[in-house]
Chain A
């Protein structure tokens, strides 16, 4: 363990009605890294997320963020799901400042920051729009900006692009990498899409169900910055066949 560890899990486990959702897992996530978690449904990735976010209290083990114990506590991570969860009664700007509105008084600085982020990432013309006027990709971008302005160092993204069409998804992935580069946050990214996990991450945790556990922890050697060409790189294909083998039980 280096000093650079932002998130640390020690033997974190969770059982639901005698089903082991997550067998005791230990992990260390470095500050500033982009870690993908890939696995089939039922492998415990969402359980893992909810434990880290503080929505679920684990049956065993401990979660530490920047050295502080945060097991079962909320309010210390950014969190985004496949559903954008924008509230229809607020404009884009007011949706971006939602975390502030839920915890304290929204200040002029909060609003200025929301506007700045929206302008910077291509939604400046839509600040006063209601979410219903936006396309799915734009809504996810707003949801991500809302996550970003919480100023949490750790962002948990649970299949954020899972509901988008392939084209939009690729655009969003490139957009996310750009934002990640600009802001230096640490990202934990759940997906069941192997290509997505490789395209985005520095490191890939492969999970497996019954019992839910991490079966492999792979470094991603692909150079950055990444673009469409990355998707056909031999390194990409090598990593992909390795992960596919782990997921589907085929030796490679």
Chain B
């Protein structure tokens, strides 16, 4: 979310610069005040999380809440640190499920979005089924999946993919259906084939909606993995660990595990935001950073000419 807002403000800043300028474009590769922007975009979110933890501390201490009802932040931290040897492999397992499910869900989502955008008949056929798939409560879905596939990582991965593909499909479909018709006409006038138009125009034009879908999917992916673990994991998992802690009234461990899950979720989201930043340099730069691929191509062509 913060990524999207950031690019909006960047575009706005650009727009204002262009308006107030004298018709000359800015010749700077970097916006002035980059460090201040980093401070604003990273410092303030961190500050708000610190504040959240402080409020938590004040509430628990101020209202004299018993540790088994709600622990203080430090107690939750200690609970996680004290059993880190057990927790770390579980964190890795959750991450693995998230990665497998997310990647397959995202790929499926892109595939369905493209197919539906290109074949209107399939769009009418498949769209209702997709909506249906999301209306099914995910918990209700988990039980039959376990019956069919057994207690293993497979139903967990399927649950994650099930949650992730939908926002990706919807956004890709939406993006592909809203590519500027004049731009597509221009490609036609040039004599471009449908394939080249798709690769050179439609796909890149869909980058922004694609990443919207991927970011929404990222926020839900870890939640999906935890739900899956709760129902389908064989023996040990982060979700079962938490359930166990809960039944032992080890509330500090419950809170600690929740925080751990949240951190996994945020990291995953940030990873996708990072990928978006790398994939869309034009949204925050006015000059292309470098053109290594072109230089190599030029070098190759020159070499061929010289031979």
Contacts and interface: CB of A to CB of B under 8 A. Distances in A.
Contacts of A103: 190-193, 196
B152 to A, nearest CB: 42
B126 interface: no
Q: Is the interface of B mostly helix, strand, loop or mixed?
A: helix
Contacts of A130: 282, 285-288
B301 A89 contact: no
B200 A108 contact: no
Q: Of A55, A85, A126, A150, which is in contact with the most chain B CB atoms at under 10 Å from its CB?
A: A85
B26 A85 contact: no
Q: Of B191, B193, B298, B302, which is in contact with the most chain A CB atoms at under 10 Å from its CB?
A: B191
Contacts of B182: 81, 83, 85
B205 A87 contact: yes
A133 B83 CA distance: 53
B204 A135 contact: no
Interface string B182-197: 1101111111110011
B207 interface: yes
A56 B242 CA distance: 65
B120 interface: no
Q: Of B25, B207, B283, which is in contact with the most chain A CB atoms at under 10 Å from its CB?
A: B25
A132 B11 contact: yes
Nearest to A130: B282
B256 to A, nearest CB: 43
A138 B25 CA distance: 9
Range of interface residues on A (Cβ < 8 Å)? 35 or more
Contacts of A107: 301
B291 interface: yes
B272 to A, nearest CB: 19
Given A79-B186, A101-B200, A102-B197, A135 B282 contact: no
Interface stretch (B16-24, B43-51, B141-149, B221-229): B16-24
Given A75-B191, A133-B286, A85 B180 contact: yes
Given A54-B188, A54-B189, A132-B14, 16 more contacts: A55-B185, A55-B188, A76-B191, A83-B180, A88-B283, A89-B282, A102-B190, A102-B191, A102-B196, A103-B191, A108-B302, A111-B298, A129-B25, A130-B282, A135-B18, A150-B190
Interface of B: 11, 14, 18, 21, 23-27, 180, 182-183, 185-193, 196-197, 200-201, 204-205, 207, 280, 282-283, 285-288, 291, 294, 297-298, 301-302
